[in-house]
Structure 1
Amino acid sequence: MTSSKLYLDVWSDFVCPFCYLEVPVIDQFKQTYGEAVEVRWHAFELRPEPASAIDPDSDLLHETWENSVYPIANERGLLLRLPPVQPHSRKAFETAFFARESGRFDVVHRAIFKAYFEDGIDIGDTDALLDIAATCGIDPESLEEALLGDELTDAVIEDEEFAKKLGVTGVPFVVLSRDGVGDQEPQPPIALRGAAPIEHFEAALGRLFPEGFSAA
């Protein structure tokens, strides 16, 4: 049984319901193995500007929600509603990245998802993001100033460029990996695509740690 750490690198988009639906699965996995698992969230814009946003009233969007989103949400205990807007998400990522600097990434990350998919808030609107961040203990004036600069934008683009090198074309996309032990090379990373269930994470864990894996 090894005490080596497991890394979960997760690319997601705040406007993708399947990314929100993956959060409770990752939570469950993390709760099972504790500090032995390190989750690292990354930005991936499905529709970066200047691409047009999806029509919130499109038949395809409603069909996807009825046939896929709502059934998975019921299975995973999340209450989602089809949002009335389909915004671009770069400023939302920049807000979450700003929160990371003060150790508030996780709470802001969840708050943005919840605001969009449960409350229908336009997370492409800067004022809305300032309000969400403020409820999470982030100083809105400092955030507003940071959103006007390029540093946070560059960080989002860096994440997305790395995703392109990995061949990521859709989200959620999770890469599970581990460190080597001594002089031994680690097992190759394993990628999970889509709203993968907990069983897929457990199977990947077994392949990455054939010698066994212990919670920390």
Structure 2
Amino acid sequence: MSLHAATVHVIYDFICPWCWIGEEHLERALAASNFATDRQVVFLPYQLNPDMPVQGMDRKTYRSGKFGSWARSQAMDAQVTHAGKAIGLQFAYERVEKTPNTLAAHRLVWREQQAGSDAAFLVKAIFKAYFGEGRDIGDLKVLADIAAEAGLDREAIVDFLNTDEGTAEVLKLEAMTKASGVRSVPSIQIADDVISGAQPVEVMTRILRRNQAA
């Protein structure tokens, strides 16, 4: 994948809590470093569960199977909740009933970026809706509500989501990220630098400043 030094690429998925934390760290690092780009942050999709049924799965059932037990899943949730609280992100796992299919949410972000808009506001809104409010972001009506609350035209969003528009493009972008060697998220790419995981703000700031001076 060819990257321009002035562009920050964020590879992420909406069911990854560390991606929400990493996005918040990046936002703070961009402000701290005065990174002179057109403030261009491009979000690239990476579905952690590409085979998830369209309707999603009961979260307790899914997580218990994936991690061996519900108790282990809850311990992991507690860890990330603590990390989020330290930077003002409120996780409400007790309200999350489903692990959703995230393709439609990625399509929605793709649509906004295709229009030339900064999609960070929409990404943040979807993360908050899922992790902070327990909403089913795999449900098209819920996604349309979230988009409308974020200031987008709900009717236009409904029309878009009820088509397959953007599906092939999102899957192609996902294939590109995997072909470039990405195996986990969040992964933030700035020119030749790759920040893996939700690294501290100071680490991101240092890398941004280094690229600023290049």
Question: Normalised by the size of structure 1, how large is the TM-score?
Answer: 0.80
- The one-letter amino acid of 1:70's match is T
Deviation larger for 8-17 or 105-114: 105-114
User: What corresponds to 1:182 in structure 2?
Assistant: none
Number of aligned residue pairs: 196
* Percent of pairs with identical residues: 26
149, 152, 176: which one pairs with 2:190?
176
User: What corresponds to 1:86 in structure 2?
Assistant: 99
User: What corresponds to 1:194 in structure 2?
Assistant: 197
| Deviating 4+ runs (over 4 angstroms) | 50-54, 206-209
- Give the greater-gyration-radius structure (CA): 1
Which 5+ residue runs of structure 1 have no aligned equivalent?
Answer: 178-188
CA distance in 2, matches of 1:201, 1:59: 33
What is the CA deviation profile of residues 79-118 of structure 1, one whole-angstrom value per residue up to 9, with x for unaligned ones? 1121222111111111222233273623222111111111
Q: CA deviation at 1:63?
A: 1.5
CA 1:196/1:140 → structure 2, altered by over 3 Å: closer, same or farther? same
- The one-letter amino acid of 1:146's match is F
User: What corresponds to 2:67 in structure 1?
Assistant: none
Q: CA deviation at 1:48?
A: 1.1
62, 76, 85: which one pairs with 2:87?
76
Q: CA deviation at 1:47?
A: 0.3
- The one-letter amino acid of 1:59's match is A
Q: How does 1:91-170 map to 2 (within 5 A)?
A: 91-100=104-113, 101=115, 103=117, 105-170=119-184
- The one-letter amino acid of 1:107's match is F
CA 1:129/1:118 → structure 2, altered by over 3 Å: closer, same or farther? same
CA 1:119/1:6 → structure 2, altered by over 3 Å: closer, same or farther? same
User: What corresponds to 1:64 in structure 2?
Assistant: 76
Secondary structure (helix, strand or coil) at the match of 2:40 reads strand
Q: How does 1:201-216 map to 2 (within 5 A)?
A: 201-205=204-208, 208=211, 212=213
Question: Normalised by the size of structure 2, how large is the TM-score?
Answer: 0.81
Contact in 2 for aligned 1:47/1:88 (Cα 8 Å): yes
Secondary structure (helix, strand or coil) at the match of 2:25 reads helix
Q: CA deviation at 1:34?
A: 4.6
Contact in 2 for aligned 1:13/1:43 (Cα 8 Å): yes
- The one-letter amino acid of 2:44's match is H
What is the CA deviation profile of residues 165-216 of structure 1, one whole-angstrom value per residue up to 9, with x for unaligned ones? 1111110011111xxxxxxxxxxx011111111222234346546xx46xxx
Which 5+ residue runs of structure 2 have no aligned equivalent?
Answer: 65-69
Q: 2:7 matched to 1:7?
A: yes
CA distance in 2, matches of 1:86, 1:45: 12
CA distance in 2, matches of 1:9, 1:109: 13
